[in-house]
Chains A and B, each alone.
Chain A
Amino acid sequence: MSEGLDRLAATLGVPTTRLAPLEAYDDEQLRRFDDLTQGAMRAEDEAFDASLNQALRMVPKMLRGVVQRMLGGAR
């Protein structure tokens, strides 16, 4: 297994063997795909946090702490 495949597997949280069909691609291509995947995850994280914070602002202040605890410490 290549370094590029190991890195992509770590990003996707799967054993490298699950990505065996991608073995045909070189490290540069796999790195590019990994960058795109990480970029997609970052964009989604940001959108997720923004939406969640906006939703929390609509929860009455006295309940906000309880809700935040239920959400596992959302900002």
Chain B
Amino acid sequence: MTALTSSLEITKLAHEMHVDEADLAFLAASSPDDLRELRGIVSHAMFSRHESRVKGLAAVSTKLPAPVVAKITELAMGPMLSARVAAVMDPVDAAKLAGHLKPQFLAELSVHLDPSRVKGIVAKLDQAVVVDIGRRLLAAGHVLTLARFTGVVSPEVSLQVLEGASGAEILQVAVFLDDPSVLDPILADLSDETLAAVVAATADHGEAADALLAALSAENRARIAALA
């Protein structure tokens, strides 16, 4: 189980570094906790390199009308730089700007975001916009990004994002959760039919699914056992 969760952590680290996870395979001997800590160090190092210029951009953005900033953001800055700027913006300003950006651009930007840095912004966005972004991420196969955001949105939003998702898609998101406990309230509100589809998909995920199931509440485990 540890080797498997280490492998999931390697996938997350590779995503953070934009490298092939096979290049990091040698790290499999490390514990999941050590790899999570390393990911935090790498993420901070990457983020800090441009922090002063990013803060300057965030300051400039408050001096111009939001529709103008939105146009520059979408046409010139692109998702990566925009994600860096969003992470240091005042949540009120960032949420106002987000209202002028296309949902597809917001979805692309989300892939480059560290959700823990933008909790305040996500909380101020219209719920329908967050659900739209989540569904776009799911459709594009960004299950890792979706899993990271599941920790900063309400179970209600997660349920709406996952509405219509296959059991396999839900399971893919679930195995990448940093904190599996956020899954309990989501699973509790899934229909029996959807939960049965998730359980059926666990057959293809072996130990990953076992690790996940072990982290669930007794109530959810009992319900799953009854459905299996």
- Report A's interface with B, CB cutoff 8 A: 11-14, 18-19, 21-22, 24-25, 29, 32-33, 36-37, 39-41, 43-45, 47-48, 51-52, 54-55, 57-59, 67, 70-72, 74
Contacts and interface: CB of A to CB of B under 8 A. Distances in A.
Contact of A37 (B42, B48, B50, B72): B42
B222 interface: no
Nearest to B79: A51
Interface residues of B, number: 36
B17 A40 contact: yes
A55 B52 contact: no
Q: Which are the 8 A-B pairs with shortest beta-carbon distances?
A: A21-B34, A51-B81, A71-B56, A55-B76, A54-B76, A40-B17, A12-B45, A55-B77
B190 to A, nearest CB: 37
Given A21-B30, A21-B34, A70-B59, A51 B80 contact: yes
B19 A40 contact: yes
B49 to A, nearest CB: 6
Interface of A is mostly: helix
A36 B26 contact: no
Given A13-B48, A14-B41, A48-B50, A24 B80 contact: no
A29 to B, nearest CB: 5
Interface in B27-78: 27, 29-31, 34, 37-38, 41-42, 45-46, 48-50, 52-53, 56-57, 59-60, 71-73, 75-78
18 contacts: A11-B45, A12-B41, A12-B45, A19-B41, A22-B30, A36-B17, A44-B49, A48-B81, A48-B84, A54-B76, A54-B78, A55-B77, A58-B72, A58-B75, A58-B76, A71-B56, A72-B56, A74-B56
